Structure 1
């Protein structure tokens, strides 16, 4: 059975977006690509997105197939990103979203259970705070992959919202990166 891995990066003060919803990528390097992106792509059999991240990533990655001069075309795992099946969690998106994707049904826990049974590799969730907190609320996250960046945003959108259920995780790996970021990997601690 596949695991569900919630993968996200945050500022030191816990924000995944700057004020106004501004995307703030982590400082990048070959080491970050190897330790963050390529490790995820080696395990991923399915990608789970929220609507906003899905549309953003679809716009970025899909051009690699038609424009060899695009930024995405120069990234070693662009083919994998485009090939992997995707599920989009959305209340507003309907029909075929394209980019090898499908829209999730209304029962998120049932959708994740199905993906865990059927995915040929682990399910990586690359959504925003809404998806992250929904997955945590349903207690379907098996691993957390967090990259803490050496930045303070001061405000914005927090990854973890107040009011979600308490959950215990066990630290399985830490990796300090030359960019000043730190990767923390945790496994859900479940009784029994």
Structure 2
């Protein structure tokens, strides 16, 4: 079976919006775009590279697809990100959208109206890791339908106070198991979590 991995850059307060630049996503007046860039040290870059080596496909929401499709095919062979561009342009890409009627980026496929059903079928196919990048709205759908096998979170030491969060209000309660944690010199923490069933509850209240 394939594995669905949510691969996300986060602030300490859980914001995932526009890590890579001021114009990446200004929705709702977000003014902090590019918050990740000054904190991306060499060690964090190496961790990202390790993750790239495990990807066999991408699962993208419409907004992230539009951003990626407008950027990565334009990266030239002499650009520092040429290797990443080659991978992103080559991987199969599965796009969830209620508004797009077609996708032109190389190796891209629309999932159709039943996104949870289509993703469930992707998980059943032989293969490796299919990563979700960005795509906040899509992630909420996947969480609601218990379709995320692993959360690979890279948490940067900054607090923004506003912006789209990975676990938005109304996220389905779920227990997680921490299977890996690494820290870089600039204070970036990479945590890998897997689903661990239902949330357990207890109490510190004293008995009467």
Greater Rg, structure 1 or structure 2?
Answer: 2
Say whether the fold is shared (TM-score over 0.5): yes
RMSD (CA atoms): 2.0
Q: Distance in 1 between the 2:10 and 2:81 partners?
A: 23
> Displacement, 1:86?
0.2
| Cα deviation 1:134-181 (Å, max 9, x = unaligned) | 110010000001111111112122221111211111000111112211
Asked if 2 retains the 8 angstrom alpha-carbon contact of 1:48 and 1:127, the reply is no
TM-score normalised by structure 2 residue count: 0.81
Residue 30 in 1 paired to residue 37 in 2? no
1:61 is aligned to 2:68: no
Q: Report the 3-state secondary structure (helix = DSSP H, G, I; strand = E; otherwise coil) of the residue aligned with 1:186.
A: strand
Structure 1: runs of 5 or more not aligned:
none
The equivalent of 2:25 in structure 1 is: none
How many residues are paired up? 186
User: In the alignment, which residue of structure 2 is the partner of 1:86?
Assistant: 93
- Structure holding more strand per residue: 1
Tell me, in whole angstroms, the C-alpha distance in 1 between the residues paired with 2:136 and 2:84: 25
Describe how 1:57-136 pairs up with structure 2 within 5 A: 57-64=68-75, 67-70=76-79, 72-73=81-82, 76-118=83-125, 120-136=127-143
> Which sections of structure 2, spanning at least 5 residues, go unmatched?
19-27, 199-208
- SS of equivalent to 2:17: strand
| Paired residue secondary structure (2:52) | helix
User: Is residue 150 of structure 1 aligned with residue 157 of structure 2?
Assistant: yes
TM-superposed CA distance for 1:72, in Å, is 3.3
Shift of 1:25: 5.0
